[in-house]
Amino acid sequence: MPFVGIHVLVASTALAAAQGDLDSTGAKVTAAVAAVTTIGLSVSAWRGLRTDQVVGQALEEGLGTGWRDRVHVPLRRHRPWARILLLSALMRRRDVRRIPDISYGEAGRRNPLDVYRRRDAPKSAPVLIYFHGGGYTSGGKNREARPLLYRLASQGWVCISANYRLRPQTTFPGHQIDAKKVIA
C-alpha cells in the first residue's frame, strides 16, 4: 500500500505543477507535506520489503533450518514487482476463492466473516483468523489485509477475516465474545 500512496502523491503533485497550481504559499506548503509524506511512505515500504528476512529467521527458529523442504506449496522466490508497483489494489488472485459475508453471530452487519481459500480446497490446510485493527472503534474485514489474505490463501492456507461489534455498540467483553464466536 505505501507504493499506491507514493504513486497518488507524486501524480497529483506533478499534475498540480503542470497546471501551474503550485504558485501560492498554501500550495507550496501542501507540496512540502506531500514530499515529507512520500519520504515516510518510502521508509515504510523499505521496512516492509525487509520483513521476509525477519519472517524467515522466525520460521527457522520455530521450525528448524530444513522447514522449506517440508512445505508442500511452492514459495515464490522473487517479488512480483510489476504487481506491487502498478496494480496492487486492483489485482485479485485467480487461484483463490473468497466466500463473503458468512454470518457468525446475532449482530447483523457487524458479525459477518469472509473465507479465503484456494479453489482446489486442499485438505488439512493451516488456518489464519484475521481481526482488523481500529481500536474497537473503526475498521472492516475487507480493507486492511486483503493482499495478505489472498497471498496466504494462494499458498494453501484457509484465511478468515471477520468483522466484530465496535464501540459504542458494545464494550468489554463484547469484542472478545465476537472473537470467540469466530474461532468456534
Tracing cell 489485482 back to the chain, one arrives at 91
Average pLDDT over residues 3-13: 89
CA dihedral (120, 121, 122, 127) positive or negative = positive
Task: Please indicate, yes or no, whether residues 96 and 161 belong to a single structural domain of this protein.
Answer: yes
CATH code assigned at 119: 3.40.50.1820
pLDDT in tens, 166-181: 999 888 899 999 999 9
Task: Please indicate, yes or no, whether residues 53 and 97 belong to a single structural domain of this protein.
Answer: no
Task: Please indicate, yes or no, whether residues 40 and 107 belong to a single structural domain of this protein.
Answer: no
Cβ neighbours, 10 Å, residue 77? 5
Is residue 62's pLDDT more than 80? Answer: yes
Task: Please indicate, yes or no, whether residues 64 and 141 belong to a single structural domain of this protein.
Answer: no
- Alpha-carbon distance values, 180 to 89, 101, 126 (Å): 31, 17, 18
- Identify which of 183, 165, 184 has the alpha carbon closest to the alpha carbon of residue 174: 165
Sheet holding 127-131, edge to edge: 96-103, 112-118, 158-162, 127-131
Structural domain contains residue 155: yes
Confidence of residue 107 (pLDDT cuts 50, 70, 90): confident
Task: Please indicate, yes or no, whether residues 96 and 167 belong to a single structural domain of this protein.
Answer: yes
Cis peptide before 2 (omega within 30 of 0): no
Task: Please indicate, yes or no, whether residues 38 and 119 belong to a single structural domain of this protein.
Answer: no
Structural domain contains residue 81: no
pLDDT in tens, 90-99: 556 789 999 9
Structural domain contains residue 60: yes
- Alpha-carbon distance values, 165 to 94, 103, 107, 130 (Å): 31, 13, 7, 15
Listed residues 36, 70, 104: the one ending a domain: 70
Q: Domain limits at 128?
A: 92-183
Structural domain contains residue 85: no
Query: How many domains in the chain?
Result: 2
Cβ neighbours, 10 Å, residue 40? 13
Average pLDDT score over the chain: 85
Structural domain contains residue 84: no
Structural domain contains residue 75: no
pLDDT for 2 equals: 85
pLDDT in tens, 39-57: 999 999 888 887 878 888 8
Task: Please indicate, yes or no, whether residues 54 and 104 belong to a single structural domain of this protein.
Answer: no
Is residue 23's pLDDT more than 70? Answer: yes
Confidence of residue 83 (pLDDT cuts 50, 70, 90): low
Task: Please indicate, yes or no, whether residues 166 and 102 belong to a single structural domain of this protein.
Answer: yes
Cβ neighbours, 10 Å, residue 118? 19
Task: Please indicate, yes or no, whether residues 152 and 106 belong to a single structural domain of this protein.
Answer: yes
Confidence of residue 114 (pLDDT cuts 50, 70, 90): very high
pLDDT for 36 equals: 95
Provide CB contacts within 8 A for 89, sequence distance 6+: 1, 4
